Structure 1
Amino acid sequence: MNKLIIGVLLCFMYLPFYAQVQVDVNLNVKHTVGNISEFDRSKFITIHANQVENEWDGDNFVTDLRDDFLNGYDVYLGRNTGSITWNLNNIGEDPIRSGFADPNEIVTKGSNTRNNYASKTDLHSYESRKANHVMAAQLHPFWTGESQRATSVTGWELANATATGEYMGRFFNEFHGGNGEPIPKWIEVINEPAYEELGGKSNFTNSLQEVADFHVEVADAIRVQNPNLKIGGYTVAFPDFETGDFQRWINRDKLFIDVAGEKMDFWSWHLYDFPVFGGKKDLRSGSNLEATFDMHDQYSLIKLGETKPYVISEYGSQTHDLRNEQWSPYRDWLFMAAQNGQMMSYMERPNDIAIAIPFTIVKAEWGYNSTTGIPYVSRLMRKANEPASYTGEWVYTERVKFYDLWKNVKGTRIDTKATDLDIQVDAYIDGNKGYVILNNLEFSAATIDLNVFDNYNVAITSILKRHLTLSGNIPVLEEESVITAISSVELGSQSTMILEYTFDNDIIIDETSDEVKYFADSYLQPIQANQAVTFNINGVAKPTTYGEAVLRVSIGRDHGSVLKPVVTVNNVDITVPEDWRGYDQAQKNRFFGTLEIPVAYDVLNTNNVISVAFPDAGGHVSSVAMQVFNFSSNIREFTPEKLPTNNYTIKAIDATCNNQDNGMLSISTIVGQNYNAVVSSAGYNESFNFSNNLSVENLKVGSYTIVITLPSFPDYKMEFSVQIREPESLTVSSKLTVDKNAVFLNLKGGVKYFVALNGKEIQTGANEIELALEEGINKLKVTTDKNCQGVYEETIFIDKSYSIYPNPVKEELSIVVTEKLRNSSAYVYDITGKLILRKEIDSTENSILVNGLGKGVYIIVFKRNKEKVGASKFVVE
């Protein structure tokens, strides 16, 4: 039996009534995807740089920046677009073949470059940090289509795509290997060719044909020189498949697969969130990213019979609205928030991702705008005096906090599960170390109830909690060392937390969860109102008795369309969640995302029929896939010990009025199970079965006992006591300020009060309120939202010719009058109208001893020549 090693078994939570997220971590269960179960830092913890770049050197805050950053944070080198481009711009044309690079000069320059590298022995130790290194050609001068440019130094143009490919193949042969740098693992044909050529992000009519043909010819020519290189493309900047109701997909990415797919060893993408784009958010993180991968993979499988790995050679965020501003910590935060959210999605598909490289350049001095004084945005380093001035030594930007957060993570991936798709979770075990990663895609903070299960009674010796979040406009990496178990954490908006556990023994991993994704045999189906679209997912293997599945239905629809379809799997109705991963996409042009729908393992067959229907027309079902998790044992087997500490939230709702039997009890649970609740009181005893939520209505006022049991576990019982009350009568006490400019009201009995003064009404939920008064008569009326609580009315006459204080009073009542009331008489009456005492007012300041009076309300009346000229009430305590 799994043992819960985090948190107390159960506790009762009172108001406020809100949902929390449960995260389960199974320490002993290895999670494998496509035979990969280890965290590969060379894929995921990377920088857009090469170790030979001069930008590592210079006036840095540390003596050896390469060592401090790459070794200190355990970072791998990702991509180089400079050397292959710089050398082409400086190599002459073949004197025999017009439009081709001179082979002899390539050999000479390549030899010189290798020898130069060989002499820099201090750089050789970083070769191990280039396990997945990418090299890409810039658009110019490699592109030979429309808008072609000559080499910037030697001034000649490549003849055609074959000439481009020949140069690239020769470059890798002559400039790498031997005593030179290692040959890059991944070769991108050209960087973002469609960005300039095909009309930008919103265009969906221009064809990618010329770019696709170019890739085919370049790949063929490279392989003539070196058949072992892995070549890919098309380094797309905006894979926005849904644009133009998927016309962009048809004219670009589908066309590229059709034309060049067989020649590509991998797909090359650039993926960015736009968190500040014309005052709007246009984010890819979340369901949009999932739908993009699924659609591309499914069509690749249909067309080519296989999926191919992805080189994500740039990702993060582009902060358009802040681009022309000086460096700021907040801009770095926007990048890291996107970086963490996207990387968690990449980590879920380690078999598909060759490498993912955040677009962070070391210093990017080449991007400094000397006219505006604006440095390049995407930098690891900045000048110490920025943003005030571009001066001082080089120090880290805030982006280093991403690497600091992740610097220790390694090990074997283990099983995790969250009750909310907006909370991304992953975890790894390395000996007696465990790393639980939580990322919040929501724009609000979340409370995470954390359950860590182990079969072998390991004990926690310490936990290092590291939380990358935003404080004001500054990203902060909060650290806290904890020696006791953590059952709940607060995860900030768009924030990431890594909990580093140290256990008293190595964790034993002897159970497995093997994940396989199966795609349907058709894709991109139009949606018609009330017409089911049918998909077949065949060849599903269930080698074990236990498991779970997630149906992935990706859709592209206009805003306002229904996003929750009716779904069946093998004629079994499937409950579709209300939510999806990430935000609502409301500020994107349309919704394009994946609905992740749990499916019971026993519903799956070898061949499966999926039906998807919407009540309204428009848009497409872009892809359908089934994610299947095969378990070595019943790792989801439920025991009461697995319930989170705050599983139950019980809310008592009072009766609306006296003598009304309409009280309510509501029970909600974090974990859905087959519960039974017995609700009892004097003259009342009822039993209810429920799974997640229960409402019991029409209850009398009184005390109630709630006993919750799990019929499958006879020994389990939780008991709670609650009270349903009837509303109090409305009680109002009023007190004038000394200057009589306002009245203080103390309100009791209600939840919502309606206070009318001189015909003007306000609503309040406060129990104290101050109201400004007018000279003369002020009419006050107070009610609540329940008529049965009564009405309070008072007329307050304000005459500023006198004042009395203190009020309430115990010993002596002071009376201050203007000349108007001098030489008058003050009469004190009790509440029945009986005269208690009389005082002559012969000066502006007077007093009356009241310590002999009984406690209660009294009226003081001022008279001159037997004519009433003022009156007020006071209270004796």
Structure 2
Amino acid sequence: MNNIILTALSVCLSFSVFPLSSSENKTYNTTVTVDYATQRYLNDVSALDRGKYFNIHTSKDSDPDVRKFLADYGVGIGRSFWGPFSYSYGKTKKVGEYPFSEKPLNYTDLKETKRYVATEHANARTIQWGIDPVKAGAWAAEYYSKHVKGAVPEFFEPINEPFVHARDKCFNMHGQEMRMLMADFYAQTGKHIHAEPSLKKMKIIGYAAAYPAMELRDFDHWNNTMKMFIDRAGEYMDGLSVHLYDGINIVGKSSRRSGSNSEAILDLMENYSFIRLGKVLPLAVTEYGGIDNTSKGYHPIASVRTVASFNHILFNLLEREDKMLISIPFVSDKAEWHITKQYNFEPYGAALFVANNPYDLKNTAWKLNDKKYFFKLWKDVKGERVDIVSDNPDIQVAAFKDDDRLYIAIDNLDDYTHKVNLKNVLNWKGVDNVSVRSLKMIFDKGIVYDEKTLNSMPQSIDIIKDETIILCADISRKKYSNRIVRTKYYSNTYLQPVEAGKPIVFDFDGLKPGTGRAVLRMSIGRKHEMSKKPEIMVNGKKVDMPDNWRGYDQTGRDDFFGMIEIPFDYRLIRKGKNSVSVTFPDNGGRVATMILQTERYDKKVRK
């Protein structure tokens, strides 16, 4: 096989809590293999849809500076705060009272959509205890169908991060009952918008989970939030939305979600929607990044530390494009609302633009801060996926070929430097004009971005902590000689308690024998002192259990909740039904999900 690499560096979760390791000079060897003669598919998706990944958190593309940035870097708009309930409160000044038209407005023309997410704040102007969710849903459908001129947003996420506000005073402290009302609010909004013929192109997503610590209290958090939401509203949703942050978002302990934890969260959401709804609901990651708590107010370096998390989490999301609606790194535009006396005329921490004269915004010039380098790193990266493999889960990879242009991306989730050996069966024949883009996030220095040109593809390349590298090259070979298709198989068994010595069995159906790669994606929630190395049997044959997983050891969390990949020989797969058993040596915790993933070649290949 010929393989290309992509490395994403790991982010210090709450950066003040996870400083650079004193043994950061340690170096590991990793091999990345690229086969640019083999086109890779995620189910039926091969081409990279940049609109699903490279966006900023705004809808204001009318601003000339923002518009120029979007055009220069190939970026889209992502999300903004405004919708039917903000509009209705402005008209009636009462929550739950909506300005329905007295006479039927029989507008039936199909509304065009604009690709961004509209959402609204979780406050007393949007929703309160005791409102009628059916009436609210009917109003949302009328608002977008009859009161909005021109295009409507492609995605509507009715409330931003609602469940963490369920006990706010404005909601009368109803807690879980308020969350259930919020879920019904989502359900009725989706039901009514889907029933409106003019809004057939709109998608409803939710619930914008701010704190997806699914494993808390033996998965009680999962049961009372995302599971409850899927149970009550899932059938009316076009996608499930969640926010993923390294660090603290709203509440909770500092922890890194990039790596095994974010993988486990998304796998659990996918698997349960499969069980409950008979299909995997697509994902919308409407905010993601890193939260820095090292300084009060705006600090230029602290504001860009999030970029390392952007890259780490992006690699997770790139592998889910067949089930991804949209993802938005939390980068805002100018955020002029923040540059006021109340905030000492400082920029908003997530802002992309900084004002030269913050005291006179009508006459100031604006400049881009160093968050621009995330978008510069990925600028022009496009094309069809090609086959690529990393032999270390901490080194994340992706590769794309656009006609005669090859892009190899490498991300380092580890806290240590890796020497990445680049392998290709053709020894990089026909590959030249190589350039290397590198983005390093140095904790006390900020972003270090570099581009350089090489005479040929390097045999190896070093990648440090929190570094992402993209190798770009011209390639003479345009045609493919093979195809490899990634397929995930889900079991109807999930969230199983662990009892020492007792096998937990997961059944899978519809598999096909062949040649390729196979891996079990096992997500577990256990106390740190408990074993993470069960005995694994695939169709009665024991397979080796690895010691490593994506990202850090999660010791900053109360429990370990992460996805561990377990490769096994594809020849163990049978046609149709297959069985996997998991047996731990000790009691406690749960196996949240077990997903069987195959990558199957069309044509048999030699190993």
Q: TM-score, normalised by structure 2?
A: 0.87
CA-CA distance at 1:285 after TM superposition:
0.7
Aligned to 2:15: none
CA distance, structure 2, for counterparts of residue 193 and residue 48 of structure 1:
18
Matched residue type, 1:552: R
Match of 1:607, SS state, is: strand
RMSD: 3.2
Matched residue, 1:364: 335
Residue 160 of structure 1 and its aligned partner are, at CA, apart by: 2.6
Aligned residue number for residue 145 of structure 1: 128
* 1:575 alignment counterpart: 544
Which of 100, 103, 110 lines up with 2:101 in the alignment?
103
Judging changes above 3 Å, is the alpha-carbon distance between structure 1 residues 557 and 165 closer, same or farther for their aligned structure 2 residues? same
Q: Kindly indicate whether residue 165 of structure 2 is the aligned counterpart of residue 167 of structure 1.
A: no
Give yes or no for the alignment of 1:590 onto 2:559: yes
Answer whether contact 1:106 1:174 (CA < 8 A) is retained: no
Tell me how far apart the structure 2 counterparts of residues 595 and 168 of structure 1 sit (CA, whole Å). Answer: 42
- Contact 1:106 / 1:170 at 8 angstroms: preserved in 2? no
Aligned to 1:853: none
Deviations 1:418-451 (A, max 9, x none): 0100000000001110000001111222211111
Shift of 1:52: 4.8
- The one-letter amino acid paired with 2:519 is V
Query: Which one of the candidate residues 433, 442, 445 is aligned to 2:414?
Result: 442
Q: Which deviations, in whole Å up to 9, do the C-alpha atoms of 1:14-56 show, x marking residues without a partner?
A: xx99640000011011110120000100101111111455xx3
**Which among 32, 44, 47 is matched to residue 35 of structure 1?**
44
Gap runs ≥5 in structure 2? 6-24
**Where does residue 310 of structure 1 map in the other structure?**
283
Residue aligning to 2:474? 502
Asked whether the 8 Å contact 1:427–1:437 carries over to 2, the reply is yes
Q: Deviations over 1:648-690 (max 9, x none)?
A: xxxxxxxxxxxxxxxxxxxxxxxxxxxxxxxxxxxxxxxxxxx
Q: Does 1:561 align with 2:559?
A: no
Q: How many angstroms does 1:275 deviate by?
A: 7.4
Gaps of 5+ in 1: 7-15, 57-63, 115-126, 149-158, 639-877
Residues 436, 453 of structure 2: 8 Å contact kept: yes
Is the 1:276–1:321 contact (alpha carbons within 8 Å) kept by the matching residues of 2?
A: no
Choose 1 or 2 for highest CA Rg: 1
Equivalent pairs counted in the alignment come to 573
Q: Which residue of 2 aligns with 1:13?
A: none
- Give yes or no for contact 2:96–2:132 (8 Å, CA) kept in 1: no
Give, as a single letter, the amino acid of the residue that structure 2 aligns with 1:611. Answer: S
The residue type paired with residue 627 of structure 1 is Q
* Corresponding residue for residue 258 of structure 1: 231
Cα distance in structure 2, aligned partners of 1:390 and 1:237: 35
User: Counterpart amino acid of 1:211?
Assistant: M
For the 8 Å contact 1:528–1:618, the answer to whether it is kept is yes
Q: Name the CA shift for 1:4/1:293 in 2 (closer, same or farther; >3 Å).
A: closer
Code of the residue aligned with 1:270 in structure 2: it is: H
Partner of 2:9: none
Letter of the structure 2 residue corresponding to residue 573 of structure 1: K
Is 1:193 paired with 2:193?
A: no
Correspondence 1:548 to 2:520 = no
How far apart in 2 are the matches of 1:280 and 1:467? 31
Deviations 1:199-224 (A, max 9, x none): 89xx9x94632222222223333345
> Following the alignment from structure 1 to structure 2, what is the Cα–Cα distance between the partners of residues 572 and 144?
54
Q: In 1, Cα distance between the equivalents of 2:502 and 2:546?
A: 21
Note the C-alpha offset of 1:260: 1.2
Q: 2:261 aligns with which of 288, 297, 306?
A: 288
Aligned partner of 1:683 in structure 2 is none
| CA pair 103-231 structure 1, distance change in 2 beyond 3 A | same
In structure 2, relative to structure 1, the CA distance for the partners of 1:521 and 1:102 (3 Å cut) is closer
Shift of 1:330: 3.6
Separation in 1 of the partners of 2:124 and 2:463?
A: 47
Change (3 A) 1:17 1:87: closer
Please say if 1:631 is aligned against 2:601.
yes
Taking the aligned partners of 1:253 and 1:587, their CA distance within structure 2 comes to: 23
Match of 1:710?
none
Residue 265 (structure 1) shift: 1.6
Q: Per-residue displacement from partner, 1:357-377 (whole Å, max 9, x unpaired)?
A: 111110112234623514321
What aligned pairs does 1:124-273 form with structure 2 within 5 A after superposition? 132-140=115-123, 143-146=126-129, 160-176=132-148, 180=150, 182-198=151-167, 206=176, 208-226=179-197, 228=200, 229-273=202-246
Paired amino acid for 1:566: E
Q: Tell which deviates more after alignment, 465-474 or 283-292.
A: 465-474
| Code of the aligned partner of 1:87 | Y
Aligned pair in 2 of structure 1 residues 368, 466: CA closer, same or farther (>3 Å)? same
- More contact order relative to length (CA 8 Å, sep ≥ 6): 2
Q: 1:761-801: CA deviations, max 9, x gaps?
A: xxxxxxxxxxxxxxxxxxxxxxxxxxxxxxxxxxxxxxxxx
User: Is 2:591 the counterpart of 1:621?
Assistant: yes
Q: CA 1:363/1:220 → structure 2, altered by over 3 Å: closer, same or farther? A: same
SS at match of 1:292: helix
The DSSP-based 3-state class of the residue aligned with 2:374 is helix
Matched to 1:216, the amino acid is: A
The amino acid of 2:204's aligned partner reads I
Task: Quickly say closer, same or farther: Cα 1:383–1:431, change in 2 above 3 A.
Answer: same
Deviation of 1:570 after TM superposition, in Å, equals 1.1
Q: Is the 8 A contact 1:295 1:623 kept in 2?
A: yes
Is the aligned partner of 1:50 residue 2:59? yes
Query: Which residue of structure 2 aligns with residue 394 of structure 1?
Result: 366
Distance (whole Å) between structure 2 residues aligned to residue 537 and residue 342 of structure 1: 28
Pair 1:512-2:483 in alignment: yes
Deviations 1:581-602 (A, max 9, x none): 1111010121001110001011
SS in 2 for 1:360: coil
Contact conserved, 1:30 with 1:512, CA < 8 A, in 2?
Answer: yes
Give the TM-score, by structure 1 length. 0.61
**Greater mean alpha carbon deviation, residues 44-53 or residues 77-86:** 77-86
Q: C-alpha separation between the residues in 1 aligned to 2:458 and 2:55? A: 31
Match for residue 396 of structure 2 among 424, 443, 453? 424
**AA partner of residue 499 (structure 1):** L
Q: Specify the alignment match of 2:463 in structure 1.
A: 491
Give the secondary-structure state (helix, strand or coil) at the position aligned to 1:22: strand
Partner SS, residue 513 of structure 1:
strand
Q: Residues 371, 620 of structure 1: CA spacing in aligned structure 2 closer, same or farther, 3 A cutoff?
A: same
How far apart are the structure 1 equivalents of 2:546 and 2:362?
51
Is 2:579 the partner of 1:609? Answer: yes
Question: What is the match of residue 77 of structure 2?
Answer: 77
Task: Tell me the CA shift for residue 106 of structure 1.
Answer: 12
CA contact (8 A) 1:337 1:495 kept: yes
CA distance in 2, matches of 1:469, 1:390: 35
Question: What are the Cα deviations for residues 329-381 of structure 1, in whole angstroms up to 9, with x where unaligned?
Answer: 2431x211111111110000111110001111101122346235143211111
| Amino acid aligned to 1:612 | V
Could you tell me how far 1:104 is from its partner in structure 2? 6.9
1:474 aligns with 2:446: yes
Using the alignment, how far apart are the partners of 2:412 and 2:85 within structure 1?
40
Aligned pair 1:355/2:353, yes or no?
no
**In structure 1, how many angstroms separate the alpha carbons of the residues matched to 2:422 and 2:134?**
57
SS at structure 2 position matched to 1:38: coil
- How far off its partner does 1:403 sit? 0.5
CA distance in 2, matches of 1:76, 1:587: 35
Q: Show the counterpart of 1:538.
A: 509
Q: CA 1:437–1:275 in 2, change beyond 3 Å: closer, same or farther?
A: farther
Higher strand share: 1
SS at match of 1:346: helix
Task: Tell me the distance in 1 between the aligned counterparts of 2:176 and 2:474.
Answer: 56
Contact 1:145 1:210 in 2 (8 A): no
Shift of residue 72, structure 1, vs aligned partner:
0.5
In 1, Cα distance between the equivalents of 2:253 and 2:400? Answer: 36
- What one-letter code is carried by the residue in structure 2 that aligns with 1:483? N
